[in-house]
Amino acid sequence: MTANAKLHQELPSAETLIEVCEATWPPADVKRVGAWIIRDGQGGGKRVSAATENWPTTEADLPSAEKAMREIGQEPLFQIRAGDEHLDDMLEQHGYSKIDEVNIWVIPVGRLTHETPPPVSAFCIWPNLAVMQELWNRGDIGSERQAVMDRADCPKTGLLARTDDTPSGVGFVGISDDIAMVHALHVEESLRRMGTAQNLLRQAALWAEEQGAKYLSLIVTQGNQAANPLYANLGMHLVGHYHYRTKQA
């Protein structure tokens, strides 16, 4: 077995990383309704709003999930993970469309901390500054998603990048167990392809290492043609996928 193959075996699984994602980017409320786990995201995005199975479901279970989500002001939305093929097929038969297929990336933090960002190019800051909130707002990461960061009950920090002496990018990172998860990464469009995202990730890894974390992870849509090659070039490992199902109004 090659060293790379051995490392891949030792990496956290996609299932573990999805749990870390929820711990570091939590819904406002979670309840169990029959066979379902229902999340109240309060506008914080699909990750905190999608229902998942509590145990294998049948068509008879679907109306209770739809009703529970509508009662909290959310349109029915389901997250489909590995092993949920029966649910995926059932939802498709009921007119639910597949959306937002995502990749799950992870890397040992030491693979990123061997090279530090240039001086004054990236910072860890908490609580978030007004300039960070403005950058998120311009990246369509509004107050509802910023509220997710506030309620995350874990070691956490905000990330701020500077490029050409200008605030250029932001991110959020939280830790669960020994895994740091990066969320809400945004780089100003006019300052992209200048190493800003790489600087943010290396700064996140440095902070995570100081907190005792062993791995850095993030989740990104498969259609993000700028981010996925960057993560691969940094040596991150693609360990899994998931997607959502929703009905078009």
Residue 249 scores a pLDDT above 80:
no
Residue 237 scores a pLDDT above 70:
yes
Within a domain: 19? no
pLDDT, residue 220, reads 98
pLDDT, residue 191, reads 87
Looking at the structure of the chain, the number of domains it has is 1
pLDDT, residue 134, reads 98
pLDDT, residue 248, reads 74
DSSP per-residue string spanning 30-76: EEEETTEEEEE-TTS-GGGT-BEESS---GGGHHHHHHHHHHTT---
Residue 14 scores a pLDDT above 80:
yes
The DSSP 8-state label assigned to residue 191 in this structure reads: G
What residues make up the domain containing 139?
A: 105-241
Tell me the CA distances in angstroms from 153 to 93, 135, 146, 182, 205, one per residue in order. 38, 23, 14, 15, 20
Within a domain: 177? yes
pLDDT, residue 9, reads 72
pLDDT, residue 171, reads 98
> How many C-beta atoms lie closer than 10 Å to residue 97's C-beta?
11
Residue 1 scores a pLDDT above 60:
no
Within a domain: 204? yes
Place of tokens 């956490």: 156
Give mean pLDDT, residues 191-204: 95
Q: What percent of the chain has pLDDT above 70?
A: 96
Within a domain: 58? no
Read off the CATH number of the domain in which 120 is found: 3.40.630.30
pLDDT, residue 24, reads 98
Q: Is 25 left (phi over 0), alpha (psi -120 to 50) or beta?
A: beta
Residue 91 scores a pLDDT above 70:
yes
- Give 108-130 pLDDT, tens digit per residue: 999 999 999 999 999 999 999 99
Q: Which amino acid is at 221?
A: T
Residue 55 scores a pLDDT above 90:
yes
Q: What percent of the chain has pLDDT above 90?
A: 93
Within a domain: 117? yes
Within a domain: 162? yes
Which residues fall within 8 angstroms of residue 45, CB to CB, at 6 or more apart? 144, 145, 148
pLDDT, residue 8, reads 64
pLDDT, residue 5, reads 60
Residue 246 scores a pLDDT above 80:
yes
Q: What's the pLDDT band for 19 if we cut at 50, 70, 90?
A: very high
pLDDT, residue 7, reads 59
Q: What's the pLDDT band for 4 if we cut at 50, 70, 90?
A: low
pLDDT, residue 67, reads 97
Give mean pLDDT, residues 60-85: 97
- Give 160-192 pLDDT, tens digit per residue: 999 989 999 999 999 999 999 999 999 999 889
Within a domain: 151? yes
pLDDT, residue 182, reads 98
